Amino acid sequence: MAGNIIPAIATTNAMAAALCVLQAFKVLRGELDKARMVFLVRSTDRVISSEPLRPPNPDCAICGVAQAHLEVDLQRATLEDLVQGLLRVQLGYGAELSVTSDIGILYDLDLDENLNKKLSDLDIVAGSFITIMDEEDDDPRVNLLMSIADKRLPADSLPIKLAETFEIARKAKTLQTATESDKPAAIASANGSATEANGKRKRNVEEADLEADITNKRGKVMEDGAKPEKNDGPVVVDGSDNGAIIIDDD
């Protein structure tokens, strides 16, 4: 048994590597529609099974991030050129956005003192990466990761240029299904009263006080031999020798 471990590992690794290479050929040829996800299945007659590639998930931290190459004249480019000239004018970002790099947040709606600084003064050099996060509430874009390439651009042009045009995907909208636990305990009705989740009307303040008053009358304890006053509920008498209960006949 021990002598078969090394050959078994080598054989398994070779099979897995061969499957990866076969699919890599399709990716290199740009035939993504023909590429397959291959995996081992023990519950079927076939040991190896496959299925088509799934589309990228916009909410995924890996495949949901858009990537782009940015040509920047680091001698002239400022953060305002990036935020105003590129992101808002060319790419259509709104007011709610943030720009971060390896050193932290460079810009957001509450941090705008860096707009007049050159990108080189913010430790942005060739090979750096910056991340653009769309923080709009309605239909925001996925995060945009930009790699910086230092390139001298014409003096009469914007000192920042996209290496290629692309479209930034929008974040997927998640549908929230209401469950019984999500329903509120009481829902206000049109007449100002409240309705519980099970459909019963919730008591208002006046009704609660009235019911409490009736309960107090029903639980009233009478002195020995005292005749209870007339009320709408039964009266309990305690303390008599024979334990008799006096009931008003009127």
Give pLDDT, residue 207: 57
CA end-to-end span of the chain: 100
Helix (H, G, I), strand (E, B) or coil at 58: coil
- The CATH number of the domain where 136 resides is what? 3.10.290.20
How far is Cα 242 from Cα 250, in angstroms, rounded to an integer? 23
Whether residue 169 lies inside any domain: the answer is no
Whether residue 199 lies inside any domain: the answer is no
87 and 139 fall within a common domain: yes
| Structural domain boundaries enclosing 48 | 14-52
How far is Cα 228 from Cα 216, in angstroms, rounded to an integer? 14
Helix (H, G, I), strand (E, B) or coil at 211: helix
Q: Write down which residue in 146, 162, 178 finishes a domain.
A: 162
Whether residue 43 lies inside any domain: the answer is yes
How far is Cα 176 from Cα 189, in angstroms, rounded to an integer? 24
How far is Cα 174 from Cα 192, in angstroms, rounded to an integer? 33
Domain count, the chain: 3
95 and 42 fall within a common domain: no
42 and 71 fall within a common domain: no
Which tens digits make up the pLDDT trace of 100-136? Answer: 999 999 999 899 999 999 999 999 999 999 999 999 8
Which tens digits make up the pLDDT trace of 7-26? Answer: 777 888 888 899 999 999 99
Whether residue 206 lies inside any domain: the answer is no
**Does residue 137 have a pLDDT over 60?**
yes
